[in-house]
Every structure is written in C-alpha cells, then in structure tokens.
Structure 1
C-alpha cells in the first residue's frame, strides 16, 4: 500500500464520530466494474432499481469487487493477471489506497472481507510455483499480514461463509503465468476443486469433480445465508460435450451438478460466467455471455424453472423478487419484473452484492 493507508487507518479506527454508511454513498445494492464510452474504467454502485448511485475511476480494467460490511468502502480488483486492487471511499470518491500484489504474485480479480471488515482476503497466483494462495491484508495497518495455500491451482472467486469463520475458494485448476498472458498451460492435467478454509488457512473440506470432468474449471461462487454454495463452471474440453455448468453443495457435503438442457448447452458453449442464489436458497441463476442467456434452476431438484435472453449477459445478483442482470452492452435488467435500463457503459463480468 501507499502512504494513503493513513487515510484508511483513520476511517477504520474507533472514534466518537459517527461512521459513514452505505446510505451516504447513495444506498447502492451492488457493485460492478465498467468501461465508459470514452474508454475510462470505473467502479460503479448500482441501486436495485437499475440506477447508478456512483461511478469512481479505476486505473485499468476491473473484474469484480469487495464491499466493506459496515462502511462505504469498496475494493476494485484488476482483471487477471492484474496486480492492483484499489480501495475507494464511495462517499467522497477518494482513492484511499492501493494494494499491490507482491513480487511473484498476481490477483485473480476477487476478494472477501472478514466479518468485521478489518481484514481482506484476496485470491492470488504464486505463478512460479504454480500454486494458488490467499493473501491476507490488514486494512487498519495497511500491511499484508500473511498468505496461505488456497488448496489448489488457479483460485478465482472467494467468499466468506455465513458462519464468519470459513472461506470457500473456487480453485479453477488452470495454471497460468504472466509471461504467457492469459494462455492456459495445463489443460490435460487440470484438477479443479472447491476448498473450504479456516481464516487461518486450515483446510476444513475439499470437494473435487469426477476425473471425467477434470476440465471443468470451477470459477465463480454464490453463498446463501443457510450455507448453500452455488458454483459456476467453464468447460475447457471438447465443445461437442454438454458438461454440467452449475454445482450446488455445502461445507462437508457432496456436490449436485446441473447440466443445462441440450439446446441451451449448445448456445452456452461450455461457459457459465456468474452465479447468484436467492436468500431463501430456493433458486439459483447462472449466466452465459457466449449464449446470451440466463437460467434459473430449482436448488432442490436442479430443474430449470425459467430462462432469460439478454445479449452478452454476465453479471447477476439476487433481490427479494428474483435476479438482476448486467450485460457488456450496458443494460441492467430484472428477469422477473420485466424492466431493462440502458447505460452508456460496458458492464464487466460481475455484479457484487453489498
């Protein structure tokens, strides 16, 4: 971090003054990275109605974000293999600090706060050793405290479980190296898994796919209040196959894998971009920008309940009435309420709940 950490220390330190809340940042429900029409990169706060609450600059293309659980602070992450994560005050618009990945590491575009917001956990690549790590950052001191093994290769998304003591990590299984850009180096040897880790890095549970599905990269996660985990996958094998693109599980459980109907599977081309779960955990939604399709499944049976067509759809987040979706064409839509709001930006891959 830079010297701007002193500002962040002041924001996070205990004080007699009332702390700002997300309401003072325009009461956003979600965060999303975006590219403006003039080429600038942004981190935006979005209301559940589709309005933009704020738009703050990022130094380069963003991927996902992490929202502080109490204060209007957001961390915008670089798209893999980026090395920056920007801490933003969403009320003032001030860049509070930058977290720079240490030598030999890069971020994977995702992170998660501890329950009290004092620590940030980041998914990273130890690229010379070809292993995933989770970086642990103290926002109060502005220091990187430690790191621990992610439980696999290519950790992408990371979420805090409802118990506040466990992280779930999507180890995609794909080896990459900055010298090779975004080239995938180990497709024949992939071993994706879901790892449930204690906040100290202890491995509590690890769930792997059957060997026949080892090319199914586990990429993105959603967690319901009851501990149900939804995970979206991206197939790295022959596209003549129709692999499952959605999984549902729990810590200590056995994954249930869901395959889209054949016609939809051909459209989706083995690619699920994001996933979201309703708070009552009864429905789960995955998106496919390649197929221009969002699908909503029953979480108990895995049966497809409804679909929503939307060009280049990727971001998805849950509301009390269903799912909000964003697209690379700038649209925000609600799949059950029937409204679509256009914006003069390109929304990036993810819609992050606050």
Structure 2
C-alpha cells in the first residue's frame, strides 16, 4: 500500500502497528501550526485514516509500540521544520521529549525531557521488558560532550545515559552528535547504535550500561538484530553469538558478532559488499 498524507499533514518517516496488526500509527506534522500528531490508519479498510492524536510536542519522529500493547512510545524531536525548505526554525528554543500515549484514547501517560533542550529525541528501540533505548541527535554547540544514548522505563522520572569509555572524558564526541539508529537484543541485553557522521557502530552492555566496543564503519546507519545460524541450531546455549547487522551507504552489510563467553565481552566483525547503497534504517524479517 501507498499512503498519502492528507491536507496540512506530512509524514516524518516512521510508523508502528498495533500488536494485533489491525491499526497503523504514523508520526505526522500539522503544517498549519507545526504541532506533532499521530495518524491512525485502519488496515482492513485499505489504510484509511480514522483518527489522530496529539503527540504533546513538535517534530515527532520514531514511534514504537510498548510490549503492553496499549501504549505508544513517541520520540518528539522538538525541531520545528518548514515543510518546503526543510529549514529548522527553533533550534535555540526547541523542547524535545519522550512521550507515552494511551493508544486507544490518545491520553498522555508520561512525558520526559532530556537534560539539555537541544538533545533531539529521534530514534527508539524497545526492549521486551519495556525499556526504551533512545538515540539522540544533538543540535547544540559542537564542543559539548553530551550523552547520545539514553534509556527509560515508564514511570521513571528521568533518563539514564549509557556510558562511553571511562578513560576518555570526551567519548561521546565519537558520534559527532548524531545517532542514526538503535537496535536492542532483548535476550542478551545488548544495544547497537550507528552514526554515519561519526563513521562508527557501537555496542553496549545494558546490564552494566557500558560500552563494549566501537567499530569503524563509514557512513553506517541501519542496524538490526540478526539471527545467526548458531542462534537457531545450538542445543546448549541459544544466541551463543549475538549478532547485529549494520548497513551503510557504501553498499556493505556488516555483521558485528558479540562474544559473550569472554570477560570483558569482545566483538568480531564480518563485512560483505553488496551491489546497493543503503540508507537510514534496517529491519530483519524472519521467514517461518
């Protein structure tokens, strides 16, 4: 299906289904007043728009469904963008947030703001236990070293930042203030984040909140948990070698395999060149 935005709306590029698969929720911009909305589309009627909710902010970007099946989790980027020119109009006064909405009524459940108002909340991934992992795109001064990957659980009063190399006080500069995608392995509590501007993908241990390793990958953006062969075939320890698949604009698909049998954890990198150039995001679909 191809869904066309209605008058005075444009899409921000992300959507999620209800757990039942009957409704699609889409992040949209009200071009009349720049307010963020969630468009609701009915699958059975050919994706007809049947309603919308306010996101309680500006510039909603990624949206994911909470494992409870009744809560929408929305990244309000906070940036007021002029539709035609793509000019950013409010960088100094922007107010990003993470929002939890009741998907049935659109009621605001919780709204959380980052420590710095220019930490644009952009990309999300959802752990099976309800932890949200957030990728930040920082719009502030280039010299500032702000955390780029945060976590949050519904009910917590503030975000928790993951930790870069403790021996490097400027570690977050590795990402050049830009996270393109985040992906979580819920079975092993691992997170991978990509930065095409920083030219790297980084893997974190959620149990400790610390960086495992940062891998140089030029122009990488898409990332997804990739079921390796021994994940399915091992009779002793499934997910023996958790793997993230990373795509990049130079046509490579790179497997970052995490060795969880060692302390500290280590990674192995395998790259395969493809006859394509990949853009922002990546999903792995398993055939039954």
TM-score by length of 1: 0.69
Q: Give 2:186's aligned residue.
A: 279
The runs of at least 4 consecutive aligned structure 1 residues that moved more than 6 Å come to none
Q: Give 1:322's aligned residue.
A: 243
Q: Give 2:153's aligned residue.
A: 250
Please state how far the C-alpha of 1:343 moved relative to its aligned partner: 1.1
Q: Give 1:176's aligned residue.
A: 81
Please state how far the C-alpha of 1:353 moved relative to its aligned partner: 4.2
Q: Give 2:202's aligned residue.
A: 295
Corresponding residue pairs, total:
255
Please state how far the C-alpha of 1:322 moved relative to its aligned partner: 2.5
Please state how far the C-alpha of 1:266 moved relative to its aligned partner: 3.0
Which is richer in helix? 1
Contact 2:163–2:210, Cα closer than 8 Å, also in 1: no
Match of 2:272 among 341, 345, 349: 341
Gaps of 5+ in 2: 227-238, 258-267
- Write the distance in 2 (CA, Å) between the matches of 1:335 and 1:307: 10
SS at match of 1:252: coil
Write the mapping of 1:17-96 to structure 2, written as runs, cut at 5 A.
87=1
Contact 1:269–1:291, Cα closer than 8 Å, also in 2: yes
- Write the distance in 1 (CA, Å) between the matches of 2:126 and 2:112: 16
- Write the distance in 2 (CA, Å) between the matches of 1:353 and 1:137: 24
Q: Which of 1 and 2 has higher RCO (CA within 8 Å, sep 6+)?
A: 1
Write the mapping of 1:185-196 to structure 2, written as runs, cut at 5 A.
185-196=89-100
Contact 2:79–2:91, Cα closer than 8 Å, also in 1: yes
- Write the distance in 1 (CA, Å) between the matches of 2:31 and 2:273: 39
- Write the distance in 1 (CA, Å) between the matches of 2:41 and 2:144: 41
Contact 1:127–1:176, Cα closer than 8 Å, also in 2: no
Please state how far the C-alpha of 1:264 moved relative to its aligned partner: 4.6
TM-score by length of 2: 0.84
- Write the distance in 1 (CA, Å) between the matches of 2:179 and 2:163: 11
